[in-house]
């Protein structure tokens, strides 16, 4: 039994193919994870890296509590099942199943027999134990290879397209058997397939990949209901979702959708409450999606949904037995065949009767309409909307947002007038916010810091910067203190999405999971550092940059003794690093490590003034009321620093130190996150 952590995993093959790009995922014990996506998207490569059959270019793989990047495949306590079974042809089924156990010295012959027998019974292959693989069918061979994995009692099962070589009927049967096996064995399964039906029916969570990049990780139902982009929407579900170019226009409490040759349907504005207003201007092109099963032809539905009703002509009829698929044409005069942008596919009762070219009336289920940005193809109704746009009137430093008054902090100085305030949904403090320190989960960082201390006294570097301990960066998060009425609460992953009554309108606010599901009110406040203000579409106040970046390079210096100090050259000084950072850099870049351009990134909370730090000059003081920051020029790069009661002024010379325990490092040219 084991959990797995994949942290910023990359695979770059010789020749430069980036097969896997920044794969991040926590897999819990006993999950059934499916990697799915078209051929070449990097599924197998990821699985093979977990198995240890492929080297990890950058990133960290943990099985249980251990980092296993450098652990031999045989010592990872995993078992892999391959598409082509990979059985030894000259051995019997029994010998094949026992083979890996015989290699181990710690298991008696008696125990091996027992395990093989048990697995064979479980898989119903007892009668074949003394046959050779060639005397078995494809399905039976795949059972043997499953059996060979089971007898090893691994912590993690890896399955690479195990059913691809089987015929459709057997595949369906084996799908249920593998799911059953997962339940019985109570271990973690990771399963690779290009078949979305396998993914949807077997996975507790699914990872959809495309061109080496994870598109979405979610439960089957959530992927189906809330696809994050058009690719996921089109990949999950058969027949594929219908897509149309469309324009949306808000008219009072309705939204008109114009699509496919000026056809118009109308839905309640509430349906698209999560979409940004600029998409609702009647001009911006979006992609509308509707699944074939959400287009209804039943008379009762159509007559009660006149506002989303459409007429179309029946083209192809595909009778599948359990259901029929109608390929209809909204614009029969201009039918351009399968490529048509006016084609509408729907599912109907197989017992109903339709004729070619018959005119039918259908209606769309407006709650099931999906919308995507026409260019980026990202959903424009993400489960957690990114921001709220609020019109505000400023008078003498006080802003009126929908009838609620806020004193504007010093950092947001505005002349009297009307402005648009863009308040991200994560820009709210709550009174139950805790000082979560998510990026700092491993004590090994702290240990690594302790390891550094002896280096401080050595004389390797000319201008060394001494890092501070992680604890020196602790701070206490501000709390919200204004009462808001809660309209709705939706649980999304580990977060709560709240819709708060906000004056005469409402706002979306992301809160922590401790907020009670039935909370009627919450205490909250706006986190002004994340707010952008614009006037007549010109940004007049930018949000605070929370992502500091400094250029760097790995260096080494001989110490007094005949050893080396390794460090990072940053802003004309040298930052001591620990073995942990060095190891990662060496692993990713090999001997080229001293020649490559690196970028260190860190938040304003992971940097502070310190005696032996980088030289900088304060260029701005940004007072947000509950928090204050200094903008510091470090050799031409601007760095934002949280002020912890330090008394500095513009033009003050300062030294700053960064928290090496939480710093991120990107290898700039290849765009690979090393840490
Ligand atoms: P999938 O399993 O999703 O079909 P793979 O993980 O096999 O995809 O491959 C991902 C990408 O990496 C593809 O572009 C493939 O051509 C490339 N690739 C796979 N194996 C190698 C290899 N040994 N050397 C170079 N490129 C490879």
Relative to the CA of 161, which ligand 1 atom is closest? 2
Mean pLDDT calculated for residue range 130-151: 89
By alpha-carbon position, which residue is closest to atom 20 of ligand 1? 45
Beta bridge partners of 600: 550, 665
Mutate to test the pocket of ligand 1, among 9, 16, 40, 50 (most ligand atoms within 8 A of CB): 40
Relative to the CA of 39, which ligand 1 atom is closest? 4
Relative to the CA of 11, which ligand 1 atom is closest? 12
pLDDT value at position 629?
Answer: 97
More confident residue, 86 or 417: 417
CA distance linking residue 659 with residue 577, whole number of Å: 11
- At 213, the pLDDT band (50, 70, 90 cuts) reads very high
Relative to the CA of 35, which ligand 1 atom is closest? 3
Least trusted range by pLDDT, from 25-39, 284-298, 444-458: 444-458
User: Is residue 192 within 8 Å of 7, Cβ to Cβ?
Assistant: no
Residues 6 or more apart whose Cβ sits within 8 Å of residue 438: none
pLDDT digits (tens, 9 = 90+) for 650-674: 999 999 999 888 889 999 988 889 8
pLDDT value at position 446?
Answer: 63
CA distance linking residue 122 with residue 150, whole number of Å: 10
pLDDT at 455 over 70: no
CA distance linking residue 330 with residue 335, whole number of Å: 9
Ligand 1 centroid to Cα of residue 35, in Å, is 14
Q: How many CA atoms lie within 13 A of 612 on its CB side?
A: 11
Ligand 1 centroid to Cα of residue 43, in Å, is 8
Ligand 1 centroid to Cα of residue 162, in Å, is 18
pLDDT digits (tens, 9 = 90+) for 420-434: 999 999 999 998 776
Ligand 1 centroid to Cα of residue 49, in Å, is 12
Ligand 1 centroid to Cα of residue 582, in Å, is 29
Ligand 1 centroid to Cα of residue 17, in Å, is 8
By alpha-carbon position, which residue is closest to atom 14 of ligand 1? 40
For a pLDDT cut of 70, what percent of the chain falls above it? 94
Global pTM exceeds 0.85: yes
For a pLDDT cut of 90, what percent of the chain falls above it? 69
pLDDT value at position 441?
Answer: 53
pLDDT at 457 over 90: no
pLDDT value at position 635?
Answer: 94
By alpha-carbon position, which residue is closest to atom 5 of ligand 1? 42
Tell me which residues have their CB closer than 6 angstroms to ligand 1.
Answer: 13, 15, 17, 19, 37, 39-45
- At 488, the pLDDT band (50, 70, 90 cuts) reads very high
Ligand 1 centroid to Cα of residue 215, in Å, is 18
Relative to the CA of 13, which ligand 1 atom is closest? 25
By alpha-carbon position, which residue is closest to atom 15 of ligand 1? 40
Least trusted range by pLDDT, from 62-76, 216-230, 558-572: 558-572
Give the relative orientation of helices 109-122 and 138-150 as an angle to the nearest 10 degrees.
140
pLDDT value at position 1?
Answer: 62
More confident residue, 644 or 454: 644
By alpha-carbon position, which residue is closest to atom 27 of ligand 1? 13
β-pairing, 495-502 with 295-296?
A: unpaired
Ligand 1 centroid to Cα of residue 211, in Å, is 10
Specify the 3-state DSSP secondary structure of 121.
Answer: helix
- At 170, the pLDDT band (50, 70, 90 cuts) reads confident
pLDDT digits (tens, 9 = 90+) for 238-264: 999 999 999 999 999 999 999 888 899
């Amino acid at each position: 039994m084991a959990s797995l952590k994949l942290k910023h995993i990359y695979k770059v093959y010789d020749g430069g193919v980036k097969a896997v790009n920044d794969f991040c995922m926590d897999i819990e014990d006993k999950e059934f994870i499916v990697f799915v996506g078209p051929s070449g998207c990097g599924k197998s490569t990821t699985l093979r890296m977990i198995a240890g059959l492929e080297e990890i270019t950058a990133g960290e793989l943990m099985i249980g509590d251990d980092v296993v990047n450098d652990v031999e495949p045989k010592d990872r306590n995993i078992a892999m099942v391959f598409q082509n079974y990979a059985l030894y042809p000259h051995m019997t089924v029994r010998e094949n199943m026992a083979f890996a156990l015989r290699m181990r010295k710690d298991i008696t012959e008696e125990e091996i027999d027992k395990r093989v027998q048990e697995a064979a019974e479980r898989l119903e292959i007892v009668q074949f134990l003394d046959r050779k693989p060639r005397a078995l069918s494809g399905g039976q061979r795949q059972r043997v290879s499953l059996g060979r994995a089971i007898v090893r009692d691994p912590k993690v099962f890896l399955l690479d397209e195990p059913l691809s070589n089987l015929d459709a009927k057997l595949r369906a049967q084996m799908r249920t058997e593998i799911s059953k096996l997962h339940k019985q064995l109570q271990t973690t399964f990771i399963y690779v397939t290009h078949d979305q039906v396998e993914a949807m029916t077997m996975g507790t969570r699914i990872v959809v990949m495309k061109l080496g990049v994870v598109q979405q990780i979610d439960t089957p139902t959530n992927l189906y209901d809330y696809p994050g982009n058009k690719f996921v929407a089109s990949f999950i579900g058969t027949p594929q979702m219908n897509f149309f170019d469309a324009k949306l226009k808000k008219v009072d409490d309705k939204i008109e959708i114009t699509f496919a040759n000026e056809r118009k349907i109308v839905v309640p504005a509430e349906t698209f409450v999560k979409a940004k207003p600029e998409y609702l201007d009647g001009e911006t092109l979006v992609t509308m999606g509707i699944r074939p099963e959400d287009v209804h032809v039943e008379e009762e539905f159509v007559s009660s949904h006149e506002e989303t009703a459409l007429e179309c002509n029946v083209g192809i009829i595909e009778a599948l037995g359990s259901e029929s698929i109608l390929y209809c044409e909204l614009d029969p005069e201009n039918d351009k065949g399968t490529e048509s942008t006016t084609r509408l596919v729907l599912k109907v009762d197989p017992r109903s009767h339709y004729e070619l070219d018959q005119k039918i009336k259908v209606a769309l289920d407006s709650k099931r309409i999906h919308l995507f940005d026409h260019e980026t193809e990202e959903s424009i109704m993400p489960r957690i909307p990114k921001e709220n746009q609020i019109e505000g009137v400023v008078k003498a430093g006080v802003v009126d947002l929908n009838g609620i008054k806020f004193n504007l902090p010093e950092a947001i100085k505005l002349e009297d007038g009307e402005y648009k305030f863009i308040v991200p949904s994560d820009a709210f403090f709550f009174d139950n916010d805790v000082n979560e320190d998510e990026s700092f989960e491993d004590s090994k960082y702290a240990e690594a810091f302790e390891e550094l201390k002896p280096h401080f006294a050595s004389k390797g570097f000319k201008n060394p910067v001494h890092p501070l301990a992680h604890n020196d960066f602790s701070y206490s998060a501000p709390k919200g203190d204004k009462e808001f009425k809660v309209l709705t609460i939706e649980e999304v992953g580990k977060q709560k999405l709240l819709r708060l009554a906000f004056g005469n309108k409402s706002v979306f606010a992301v809160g922590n999971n401790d907020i009670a599901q039935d909370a009627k009110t919450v205490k909250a406040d706006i986190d002004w550092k994340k707010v952008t203000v614009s006037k007549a579409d010109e940004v007049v106040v930018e949000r605070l940059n929370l992502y500091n970046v400094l250029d760097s390079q790995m260096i080494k210096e001989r110490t007094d003794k005949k050893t080396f100090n390794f460090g990072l050259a940053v802003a004309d000084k040298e930052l001591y690093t620990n073995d942990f950072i060095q190891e990662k850099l060496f692993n990713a870049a090999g001997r080229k490590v001293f020649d490559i351009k690196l970028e260190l990134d860190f938040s304003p909370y992971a940097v502070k003034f310190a005696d032996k730090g980088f030289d900088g000059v304060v260029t701005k003081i940004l007072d947000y009321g509950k928090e204050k920051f200094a903008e510091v020029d470090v050799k031409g790069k601007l760095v934002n620093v949280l002020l912890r009661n330090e008394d500095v002024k513009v033009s003050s010379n300062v030294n700053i130190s960064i928290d090496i325990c939480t710093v991120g490092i990107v290898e700039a040219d290849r765009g690979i996150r090393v840490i």
